[in-house]
Structure 1
Amino acid sequence: MKKIVFLNPFVPGSVSGGVKVVYQHASMLGALGYDVSVYQPAGAPPWLDVGDDVRVCDQFPVDEETVLVFPEVMRDWLLDFARTPLGATKIMFCQNQYYLYSYGIERSDLVRMGFTHFIVPGQEIARSLTTVLGLDQVHVVPISIDSQMFYPRAKENRIATNPKKWPFQNGNPALAHLIMNMLHLKYPETRRFPWIYLENMPQHEVAEHMGRSTIFLALSRQEAAPLTPLEAMASRCALVGFHGTGGKDYATHRNGHWFSPEQCEEIVDRLASLLFGFEHGDPSIDMMLDEAEKTARRYTIDETRNALAQVYGLIMSQSGRASLSL
């Protein structure tokens, strides 16, 4: 039987939506009957609930019976390995086109490396890879929400956010902290509403905090298919913030309040309006929350599983053939 190996040679403690999706795909493919491993020499991520059905390895075969799934992080060891002629089939699971573009790797380079197929998590990134790099054989396997984990709990009027995409950098303030301070300065009465930073915690704690929060401040930045805002929608949080480019796949004026990163004061005004609106039972908020939950329900595990079955069925039937042509 042909083997599928996901290359994930990253530090286990690094919390990442991309890593979470890699392990999800590995688990689903294993359940579909494939021989699947995740190459992560330092071990599985402690913050992620990795089931016994996912095999984590520190070595793997590179023969004609193996399909190697590279990430888009084309640097250091991964780049050297991608350039190495191998008997194995090479495909790429590209979860962020901006990482790939930052290396200046052209279509011709990817062809010479031997990549045959590109899997992506959304329509926006599929369009981008086609127009920027001229790639074909780009397949969408949509992201999905675990509805058993992300759902509404008893709500407390508070703001949850994931601040890591906009840290303090080159003198520019960390954006979550800046927006919080601006909110407190312009609307001092909002100081009584807590903020929850969703960082350095296991997935089940993130889900618990989201489920109890009324508002999620989305700070998505240069992402292919932002998953966290969708998880917040499933948790019935009011969405305020950025779609991060890939969020154009699902962000509308009906399911959230979407702004550009330059609109900090407008974001502050909307946060204050929502905090006070929740406090006084504003019925218009429920209409938006209903739309947000409806949006999240489109991203089902069944859709992801069906797409994986179709895409990997095609890849396996073609593995061992020539790569893309120049």
Structure 2
Amino acid sequence: MAIYYLCPEHRHPVGGVRVIYRHVDILNAHGIPAYVVHRTPGFRTDWFDNDTAIVYWRETRVERLLARLRRRLFPEAVIELPIRGGRAARIGAGDILVVPEIYGPDLAAAQGRGIPKVVLNQNCYLTFNGYSLDPERRITPYQHPDVLATLVNSEDGEDYLRHAFPALALHRFRLSIDPERFAYRGEKRRQLCFSCIKNRADAMQVINILKFRDALRGFEVVPFINRPQHEVARIYQDSALFLSFGYPEGFGLPAAEAMACGCVVVGFHGGGGREFFRPEFSYPIEQGDILGFARTVERVIEGLDRDPETFAAKGRAASEFIHAHYAPEREGAEVLGAWRAILEHAGQVGGA
């Protein structure tokens, strides 16, 4: 038995990919065989350091033809997935395949029919992408017999999925922030930063409102996108402010990482970030409230100039909260706890 995490292939930083690699490392470190599954031979995510165990889906034309024939001739048969690079040649009924929520309503049937599966849902707001508005079309992996359970990464995601699928076997795990990479730094420049990955148009409005009001005088504005982790961490550590434009968010790693480095964060929690956007050390803004966003940033900068010690205390409190609540040890314990419960259930029903 092994656990296989199907993983998207991105050369640019994507937080959910890092989480998949992290889970595989945690499981292997505790004696549970696990692998990342990539489709492209030789592919390995290289925007963070890793030596994570990887196998490659062996999708030759012959293999695809055989799988198609097997589905047609033996409609109840398990469709094993051929792989290379691990101890086994195939992922089969004795294994567990973990599939991200992004693969849509047919992910359970399309990815190795009959193989026990777990859905890894890292952004609940993507859960229904690709679904139908037809009330009679009820295809979903969350009620599929192959699916043993769902893993979810935030309180918000847990609430969302539990409401949508009350009978779902659901396990929430905590993400972690690397305490060495994203270490607190109290000495800050007059600098604000933000990620340009989501809602760039919102960022354009907020920054220009502030610019033409002369509210950014003396501040360096540092937008970033697709930068290596060590560069992003350095930007956070230099910056007094982080502006959060992310929405929707399964968790909101950029804002949490910025807080860990001592930034005061202003902006959208995106749903998933609600659990750590505490008003005592951050400034949550209602999604879409551009004017409120700009006014709050201006007010926060005025507060920094008027009382720098109080401002610095907020950044320090944010960092302490993040490092205490999202420590790697807590993540590891929760991932292991979830998987031990899943494996125990799988054993009871004749699986792994």
Q: What band does the TM-score fall into relative to the shorter chain?
A: 0.7 to 0.9
Give the number of the structure with larger relative contact order, counting CA–CA contacts within 8 Å between residues 6 or more apart.
1
Within the candidate set 165, 185, 198, 1:165 is matched to 198
Moved more, 261-270 or 113-122: 261-270
Partner deviation per Cα, 1:86-145 (whole Å, 9 max, x = no partner): 2x3200110011111223375765333511100001121111101123342100111111
Aligned counterparts of 1:203 and 1:142: Cα–Cα separation in 2: 20
How far apart are residue 234 of structure 1 and its match? Answer: 0.8
Aligned counterparts of 1:38 and 1:202: Cα–Cα separation in 2: 21
- Letter of the 2:338 counterpart: V
Partner deviation per Cα, 1:35-67 (whole Å, 9 max, x = no partner): 111112331222122x22x11221232223311
> How has the CA–CA distance of structure 1 residues 262 and 177 changed in structure 2, closer, same or farther, with 3 Å as cutoff?
same
The answer to whether the aligner puts 1:286 opposite 2:312 as a matched pair is yes
**What residue number does 1:243 align with?**
269
Within the candidate set 328, 333, 342, 1:306 is matched to 333
> How has the CA–CA distance of structure 1 residues 92 and 321 changed in structure 2, closer, same or farther, with 3 Å as cutoff?
farther
**What residue number does 2:251 align with?**
225
The answer to whether the aligner puts 1:268 opposite 2:307 as a matched pair is no
Alignment of 1:1-326 (within 5 A): 2-8=1-7, 10-42=8-40, 43-49=43-49, 51-52=50-51, 54-59=52-57, 60=83, 61-75=90-104, 78=107, 81-82=110-111, 84-86=112-114, 88-104=115-131, 106=138, 109-112=141-144, 114-153=146-185, 154-167=187-200, 174-186=201-213, 188=214, 190-279=216-305, 281-296=307-322, 297-319=324-346, 322=349
Aligned counterparts of 1:56 and 1:166: Cα–Cα separation in 2: 33
Give yes or no for contact 2:102–2:129 (8 Å, CA) kept in 1.
no
> How has the CA–CA distance of structure 1 residues 200 and 288 changed in structure 2, closer, same or farther, with 3 Å as cutoff?
same
**What residue number does 2:74 align with?**
none
Give yes or no for contact 1:219–1:241 (8 Å, CA) kept in 2.
yes
SS in 2 for 1:101: coil
Aligned counterparts of 1:203 and 1:102: Cα–Cα separation in 2: 29
Partner deviation per Cα, 1:198-243 (whole Å, 9 max, x = no partner): 3121111111111111100011211121121111111000110011
**What residue number does 2:73 align with?**
none
State the identity as a percent.
22
**What residue number does 2:66 align with?**
none
- Letter of the 1:4 counterpart: I
Asked which structure has the greater CA Rg, the reply is: 2
The runs of 5 or more residues in structure 2 that have no matched partner are 58-82, 84-89, 133-137
SS in 1 for 2:288: coil
How far apart are residue 248 of structure 1 and its match? Answer: 1.6
How many matched pairs?
Answer: 310
Aligned counterparts of 1:265 and 1:63: Cα–Cα separation in 2: 54
How far apart are residue 274 of structure 1 and its match? Answer: 3.0
SS in 1 for 2:20: helix
How far apart are residue 191 of structure 1 and its match? Answer: 4.4
Give yes or no for contact 1:215–1:237 (8 Å, CA) kept in 2.
yes
Aligned counterparts of 1:316 and 1:152: Cα–Cα separation in 2: 38
Moved more, 280-289 or 89-98: 280-289
How far apart are residue 322 of structure 1 and its match? Answer: 4.9
- Letter of the 1:161 counterpart: F
